[in-house]
Amino acid sequence: MDESDRRIVRLAGRLGEAQVPELLMACGQAGPLELDLSDLLSADAAGLEALQRAQARGATLVGVPGYIQLQLAAPSRIRKRGRGAKP
């Protein structure tokens, strides 16, 4: 969905490894992106990493549930992998 000059992608339910490719496709399009997580119930490790990657690439996360906010604020899985941590 487009609103003004940005795309809004709303995530609902559970974000798991199976849904990550579809999310990455939606995030791969050009232009400003907003991810609305108001209806996101849970995210596994792959889902959290995908959200962190999207955010690192400039996506804005809005409506982030508190418990998911805490998980996203934890040390980044992306940075850990870059320092030799196992996936």
Give the pLDDT of residue 45. Answer: 94
Residues near 26 by beta carbon (within 8 Å), at least 6 away in sequence? 7, 9
Q: Do the domain assignments include residue 48?
A: yes
Residue 20 CA to residue 26 CA, distance in Å, equals 10
Q: 50-74: per-residue pLDDT in tens?
A: 999 999 889 999 999 999 999 998 8
Strand partners, 60: 34
Q: Do the domain assignments include residue 53?
A: yes
Give the pLDDT of residue 76. Answer: 59
Q: Do the domain assignments include residue 86?
A: no
Strand partners, 6: 3
Q: Do the domain assignments include residue 32?
A: yes
Number of domains in the chain: 1
Per-residue pLDDT of the chain (87 residues; tens, 9 = 90+): 444 678 899 999 999 999 999 998 888 877 889 999 999 999 999 999 999 999 988 999 999 999 999 999 887 555 444 444 444
pTM: 0.78
Query: Residue 53 sits in a domain of what CATH number?
Result: 3.30.750.24
Give the pLDDT of residue 68. Answer: 93
Q: Do the domain assignments include residue 42?
A: yes
Q: Do the domain assignments include residue 23?
A: yes
Residue 20 CA to residue 2 CA, distance in Å, equals 21
Sheet holding 2-3, edge to edge: 2-3, 6-15, 33-43, 60-62
Q: Do the domain assignments include residue 7?
A: yes
Domain range for 64 is: 2-80
